[in-house]
Amino acid sequence: MSDKPETMSILKRLTLLSIYSLVLVIGVIGLALMIHILQSNMRSVITIAMLNLTLAHFLFLLTVPFRIYYYAAGYWMLGEMLCKGVSAMIHVHMYMAFVFYVVILVIRLLGFHSKKDRYEFYRKLHAFGASVAVWTVMFMVIPPILYYNYGKDVHDNTTNNKTNTMSNNYSHCFQFGNHLKKHIVAKVLNYIMSSVIIIVACVLTALQCHVMVLLTRKYGRDCMSHQEFWAQLKSLCFALVLLVCFVPYHVFRMYYLGHLELENINEVFLSLTAFSCFDMLTFLGRGHCYMCNRARTV
């Protein structure tokens, strides 16, 4: 029985190490595939949202090697400030990605129902200003909250194993669950944010599925040869990423807020949000016109 906590700790480390290693490799490949978007219309709202989404993925991927180091080594020796920075970034990434997913999906839905091809900023400067405003608000809200509140009651833990001649000091990171026990406001805020994300993700996915049904009925078997169908199909992929990567974490988090002893499981669910970096692979299907032309010749 005494080995069970140690076994669970190893299982957790191996799970998170595998997840973040996969995210880093696939994420870097996805970033390389997204470079071609820089050649698109820089005034399009959707293009700007995708560029900002790519930037969010890029900034998050910069912190992933630190997580891999921590779960591979089993301890953190890089300082409390860097720990909080890396910890904050996965939350910044999740909320920024959520915002840009919502923007992309809402614009596509509005375009479908209004029969408008695209929504654009009047000038590139306006697009730049909007992007800066969103990032400024996000970095003014989330990192300070995490830095000044989370982890204040968390100190480095010293583990003394009497059965082993070696005694080591293990500095732990990403374990700020104790904060929620003493701050009711933080717990309520978590309930609200999780509820909003779950509801919005489910509603947008349902609406996007409805659009796909309408397009399938409209074009029939010839639907795959239409630009509109493929554009909405990519939106459906974004909606599914939103649903699959974010909703499970927030559903479990609402349960976790009442059972804080499940912090390790919550950390695994949080790592699943990193799979949203795979959304960039949806642009592998951008050459659909070529595929459609081949289908017609056959």
What is the residue-level pLDDT of the chain in tens, covering all 298 positions? 444 444 448 888 899 999 999 999 999 988 887 766 656 656 677 778 888 888 899 999 999 999 999 999 888 888 888 888 888 899 989 999 999 999 989 988 888 777 665 655 556 666 677 777 877 887 777 666 665 555 554 444 433 333 333 333 347 777 766 666 666 777 888 899 999 999 999 999 999 999 999 888 887 777 777 777 888 888 899 999 999 999 999 999 999 988 888 888 999 999 999 999 988 887 665 444 433 444 433 3
CB neighbour class for 39 (10 Å; exposed up to 12, middle 13-18, buried from 19): exposed
Q: How many CB atoms lie within 10 A of CB 63?
A: 19
Query: What's the rounded Cα separation, in Å, for the pair 144 and 77?
Result: 22
CB crowding 154-168: b at 16 or more within 10 Å, else e: beeeeeeeeeeeeee
pTM of the model: 0.81
Beta carbons within 8 Å of 9's beta carbon, 6+ residues apart: none
CATH of domain 4-153+173-297: 1.20.1070.10
Domain ranges of the chain: 4-153+173-297
